[in-house]
Amino acid sequence: MNQPAPDPTYMTVHALSAAIADGSLTSAGIVECCLQRIAALDEKLHAFVTVYADEARLAAKAADQAIQSGHSLGPLHGIPIALKDIIDMEGRITTGGSQVWRQRISPTTATVAQRLIGAGMIVIGKTHSVEFAMGGWGTNTHMGTPWNPWDLDTHRTPGGSSSGSGVAVAAGMVPAAIGTDTGGSVRLPASYCGLAGLKTTVGRVSLHGILPLSTTLDTPGPMTRSVEDAAMIYDTIQGHDPLWPPTLAHTAQSPFATMRRGVQGLRLAAVSGAERSGVDGPTLAAFDAAQETLHGLGATITEIEMPRPFTDFAAIAGRIIGAEGYRFVGKLADDDELPIDPNVRPRIALGRDIKAHEYLDALAEKEAVKAEFAEIMLDFDALLLPSTETPAIPVVEADEGGTPARFTRAGNCLDLCALSLPNGMSPDGLPTSLQIACAGHDEATALRVGWAYEQATDWHTRHPDLG
């Protein structure tokens, strides 16, 4: 008797890949499941700006034919993925989360998209972003704020700026999505939505064809249901790109050579003291439990005091984002006739008043704190810290003049790579998140620690009850 096909709704990318390989699922079946899920849920959740339904079905049919004829492009062939709507695909609209760009036709295809498509992945649509990718809560006044699927009764923060990407993956509408991270915009949605989110090192992944916010800090990264999935997609999108020269300075390194080695003997630092202040009880409890788990797996964990408070790192990154963001979209924000998000316009306007010497001072201070931090981390392989201070809060309680990026902006300021992944649930049934930060270009270690933790826990298997 033939076994019934597995339900692909919440399967991981690597599980879907295995199911396609053994014939228990087809790409066409997976894509159709995603499209049905989007049709059923997105009116409420509002994750997608655009869905490429017809094109995805055609691509899935072609993928199945190629795979069945022995012409598989690799483990990602036939797997659907969504792209944050600041990532260009030639001839298609990229809004950047803005009504101003509702009809902006992309002049090129981003290198990230090219590499995913080249690996056989199927772009199923574009997901919502905070306008101009400038905000951590995930809100968007004019284009709409995605609904965090972990609470269908209360509209909670999805995390930003890659808000739609986080919601789409968490709700089972797509197994993976690409976001970008300038101050936490991959890790914040991953945290609030209960996902793995990888902030890559600047220069690891090409920014060609991605609308800029801060070219000093911007970096693309995957949001997935498992650490292994994040590694698979990261391995595909990293590497040299002549169209983005910063990628030429470093050789691509596959994370899979070390990812499954465990954490025995690794030296992990954990934030302590004053940096625990302001973090709510469930988040702290989950953070402490994660440390115990990693210690039980053989890692040495040492609590450390940071050379400066995380708010200092956030402030430095904020000045750089402000100055560079104003360079790119300042003229739009200065035009009072344009429908710019009233929460975003003042963030952009802050950059107007940053003088050249103040911007250069911020860049110099960034290098100084990098050196301070690097000296401290000489004795450690990674730093453990929460991703956010709390689980997702009601949208109406979000302080639009502030940011939830206290613990994430440090990674951008210090040129680190960092992985966020679920590590618990609050009493209200909301995900908490652990952040594993490593030296720049050491994504392999972050993924190694994350994979070991994930194998010892089941938090990544939880998903919202959406009926």
Where exactly are the structural domains of the chain? 13-239+253-461
DSSP H or E segment with residue 271: strand 267-271
* Among 27, 84, 226, 387, the one annotated catalytic: 84
pLDDT at 348: 96
| pLDDT, tens digit, 9 for 90 and up, residues 186-221 | 999 999 999 999 999 999 999 999 999 999 999 999
* Among 17, 98, 161, 387, the one annotated catalytic: 161
Closest-CA residue to 413 (of 318, 347, 327, 308): 318
Residue 226 designated active-site: no
Check residue 280 and give left, alpha or beta (phi > 0: left; psi -120 to 50: alpha).
beta
DSSP H or E segment with residue 179: strand 176-180
pLDDT confidence band for 5 (50 / 70 / 90): confident
CA distance 25 to 28: 8
| CB-based contact 116:76 (threshold 8 Å) | yes
Average pLDDT over residues 266-286: 96
Mean pLDDT of the chain: 97
pLDDT at 2: 67
| pLDDT, tens digit, 9 for 90 and up, residues 149-190 | 999 999 999 999 999 999 999 999 999 999 999 999 999 999
| pLDDT, tens digit, 9 for 90 and up, residues 94-133 | 999 999 999 999 999 999 999 999 999 999 999 999 999 9
CA distance 357 to 337: 31
| Share of residues in the chain with pLDDT > 90 (%) | 97
Whether pLDDT at 354 is above 60? yes
Q: Residue 210 carries which DSSP code?
A: B
Whether pLDDT at 245 is above 70? yes
**What Å distances lie between residue 376 and 265, 304, 308, 430, 456, CA to CA?**
19, 9, 12, 34, 29
| pLDDT, tens digit, 9 for 90 and up, residues 300-317 | 999 998 889 999 999 999
pLDDT at 4: 81
Number of residues written out for the chain: 467
CA distance 219 to 311: 21
DSSP H or E segment with residue 438: strand 431-438
Phi, psi of 429 (to 5 degrees): 80, 30
| pLDDT, tens digit, 9 for 90 and up, residues 373-390 | 999 999 999 999 999 999
CA distance 321 to 310: 16
* Among 162, 185, 226, 387, the one annotated catalytic: 185
pLDDT at 306: 87
What's the token pair of residue 68?
A: 């069945």
Residue 69 designated active-site: no
Whether pLDDT at 1 is above 60? no
Q: Residue 330 carries which DSSP code?
A: H
Residue 129 designated active-site: no
Average pLDDT over residues 429-458: 98
pLDDT at 307: 82
Residue 316 one-letter amino acid: I
Domain 13-239+253-461 CATH class label: alpha beta
Whether pLDDT at 467 is above 80? no
